[in-house]
Chain A
Amino acid sequence: MIKKTVANVQQALHGVKDGMTFMLGGFGLCGIPENAIAELVRLGIKDITCISNNAGVDDFGLGLLLQKHQIKKMISSYVGENDEFERQMLSGELEVELTPQGTLAEKCRAAQAGFPAFYTPAGYGTEVAEGKETREFDGKMYVLEPAFKADFSFVKAWKGDEAGNLIFKGTARNFNPCMCGAATITVAEVEELLPAGSLDPNEIHIPGIFVQRIFQGEKYEKRIEQRTVRPII
């Protein structure tokens, strides 16, 4: 067994520097690497490019990095619900590259799987395709999209073991598996870190080969963005 465990979040983030590109899992605030984000805030590194479907809310998730002006560029599909984000974007402090959600996921997966680029129909004929190579297959038009390149991936799983194997829970899975192995170093934080052999190999979502460092997160707030309930009739 090749051991991937590190003692804490400080060791897990060893080597992060100003100007790097990071992938961060999560959809809204669901399944975000809360402990890695908190440590990035503490380290105060600057000029980061973040690849993440969303940009958090004002006081949580990537919003915490925005507050400290640590992010230079966001690559996302949807960035609503964040006033500070809007302010920085409109004032030109923050660069934003909007990418269709399926394309964003596939640009991660392509990096993980060793594809330099892929063709997708998403965005053909729109401003997203401007300046990009297009090609016809079977009478339909497609846009060539390159794989992402990133220095670190920060992902969050439910359970993991010493070998770096991961299991996700519910829709907290989202972009996390696609980002494993898609950057030079993948850092996984888990709610529960178990000895090797504790997880059934049949149940593993992401094999440890895609993960370089794994640690148990100190705490998880798991904030709900839109609490919606059904009336009791």
Chain B
Amino acid sequence: MLDKNGIAKRIAKEVKDGYYVNLGIGIPTLVANFVRDDISVEFQSENGVLGMGPFPFEGDEDPDIINAGKQTITTLPGASFFDSATSFAMIRGKHVHLTILGAMEVSENGDIANWKIPGKMVKGMGGAMDLVASAENIIVAMMHTNRDGESKLLKRCTLPLTGVGCVKKIVTNLAVLEVTEDGFKLLERAPGVSVDVIVKATEGKLIVEGEIPEMNI
């Protein structure tokens, strides 16, 4: 079974040379730490920066340079700043190649819910609805089950939706899955996790074809 860093490490393998990538808050942010350093990748933050670098050293924080999580950041050579409409033109216009974000629930047809729990404080969707509605290539980083052991990969989402039919790939603590027309297709198992465990943890339709390889991370 993978921890959060393990999930991020596996997702980092999906980041290819020449990609512009938008990382959501949480596990997705960790992905930047594991991207190979022999490929060229630029990270976009929807508040208006492309070419995001690591956090600054103490004393170098600039209140005018933050990421979408409102954290102080730095920029790398080749970086650019732009306004919010331009930022979402990059996203809506499919110029950003890959979006990695977290989810509370995903359904077997690729619906995603990650912004609202009825009865609890609603903080808002931020840029999540724009990202999931537009991106061609969306990878969801999430835990396979909730704290009570209930599946978060469902037939249908129970929470209010962020987007419909948009998720293509999911990396959880247990598996890598592809969303197909017929349901979740199991691609890889996390180290030491059996197919049986994944079947039991998946409420939505799970397609298991042939031998399922273990993740190579």
Which residues of A are interface residues toward B (Cβ below 8 A)?
Answer: 27-31, 53, 76-80, 86, 90, 96, 98, 100-106, 108-109, 120-128, 158, 168-178, 205, 222-230, 232
Which residues of B are interface residues toward A (Cβ below 8 A)?
Answer: 45-49, 54-58, 60-73, 81-85, 87-88, 91-92, 111, 121-130, 133-134, 160-165
Chain B residue numbers with a CB within 8 Å of A173 are 48, 81-83
- Given A171-B81, A226-B69, A98 and B47 touching (CB < 8 A)? no
Report how far A171 CA is from B26 CA in the complex, Å.
Answer: 21
In the complex, residue of chain B having the shortest beta-carbon distance to the beta carbon of A220: B63
Q: Is the CB of A80 within 8 A of B123?
A: yes
Name, among B47, B71, B162, the residue most crowded by chain A CB atoms within 10 Å (CB to CB).
B47
Name, among B48, B82, B160, the residue most crowded by chain A CB atoms within 10 Å (CB to CB).
B48
Chain B residue numbers with a CB within 8 Å of A104 are 84
Chain A residue numbers with a CB within 8 Å of B165 are 125
In the complex, residue of chain B having the shortest beta-carbon distance to the beta carbon of A180: B83
Q: Is the CB of B163 within 8 A of A27?
A: no
Report how far A196 CA is from B160 CA in the complex, Å.
Answer: 52
Report how far A158 CA is from B163 CA in the complex, Å.
Answer: 37
Q: Is the CB of A126 within 8 A of B83?
A: no
Chain A nearest CB from B113 CB (Å) reads 9
Report how far A57 CA is from B136 CA in the complex, Å.
Answer: 35
Chain B nearest CB from A107 CB (Å) reads 10
Q: Is the CB of A105 within 8 A of B123?
A: no
In the complex, residue of chain B having the shortest beta-carbon distance to the beta carbon of A224: B63
Q: Is the CB of B83 within 8 A of A120?
A: no
Report how far A224 CA is from B164 CA in the complex, Å.
Answer: 36
Rank and list the top 5 A-B pairs by shortest CB-CB distance, nearest first.
A102-B88, A102-B130, A125-B164, A170-B64, A105-B84
Chain A residue numbers with a CB within 8 Å of B127 are 77, 100-102
Report how far A127 CA is from B45 CA in the complex, Å.
Answer: 25
Report how far A228 CA is from B52 CA in the complex, Å.
Answer: 14
Chain A residue numbers with a CB within 8 Å of B58 are 229, 232
Q: Is the CB of A170 within 8 A of B62?
A: yes
Chain B nearest CB from A121 CB (Å) reads 4
Report how far A172 CA is from B126 CA in the complex, Å.
Answer: 17
In the complex, residue of chain A having the shortest beta-carbon distance to the beta carbon of B111: A125
Q: Is the CB of A101 within 8 A of B88?
A: yes
- Given A30-B63, A106-B88, A121-B92, A126 and B70 touching (CB < 8 A)? no
Chain B nearest CB from A150 CB (Å) reads 16
Q: Is the CB of B85 within 8 A of A123?
A: no
Q: Is the CB of A124 within 8 A of B63?
A: no
In the complex, residue of chain A having the shortest beta-carbon distance to the beta carbon of B53: A230
Report how far A98 CA is from B127 CA in the complex, Å.
Answer: 11
Report how far A171 CA is from B49 CA in the complex, Å.
Answer: 7
- Given A171-B47, A230-B57, A100 and B129 touching (CB < 8 A)? yes
In the complex, residue of chain A having the shortest beta-carbon distance to the beta carbon of B130: A102
